[in-house]
Amino acid sequence: MTFVLIKTIHLFAAFIYGGFLITDNLFLSKIKFSFSEEEHQKIRESFMKYVRKVVPPSLLVAVGTGLYLITQVYGPIGPNGLTWFQMLLGLKAFLGIWLGLRGGLQVYFKIQPLVFKGHQLPFAFVLTIIFLSQFMYLPVVL
């Protein structure tokens, strides 16, 4: 029961974070072509004042619950090494931890990233995590 509850919380938190990245990359970035620079800034700031309250905590919840879920499903490493599932889950964990560290450092410690300042790379990481989650369960024999 605890696993299902934490997995549900994880999915909701990930949807909030991923939904923001989808909205920002696919829609908000395009409004600058329809409005003046001043109007664009007003619209974006209006949106972002609500985002700043919800998205960073959601990201940290997604990472924290994801770390718990990994401890429950990773399993032992067999004599033949990592399984397909373990390799893809490890990659997902790496990407998720990177997102969490980047977001946490940026929002809570005001440390701005040196490179990849926009939301395109996090968006690509979220898409990669989504696709990896679909391929993890394929019965691949290595």
Residue for token pair 């003046």: 36
Residue 141's pLDDT is 58
Residue 118's pLDDT is 83
Neighbours of 138 (CB within 10 A): 9
Q: Where are the domains of the chain?
A: 2-135
Q: Are 112 and 127 in contact (CB under 8 A)?
A: no
Q: Name residues whose C-beta falls within 8 Å of residue 137's C-beta, 6 or more positions apart in sequence.
A: 85
pLDDT tens for 70-110 read 999 999 999 999 999 999 999 999 999 999 999 999 989 98
3-state helix, strand, coil in the chain (%, to 5): 75, 0, 20
Neighbours of 93 (CB within 10 A): 17
Nearest to 142 by CA among 87, 70, 73: 87
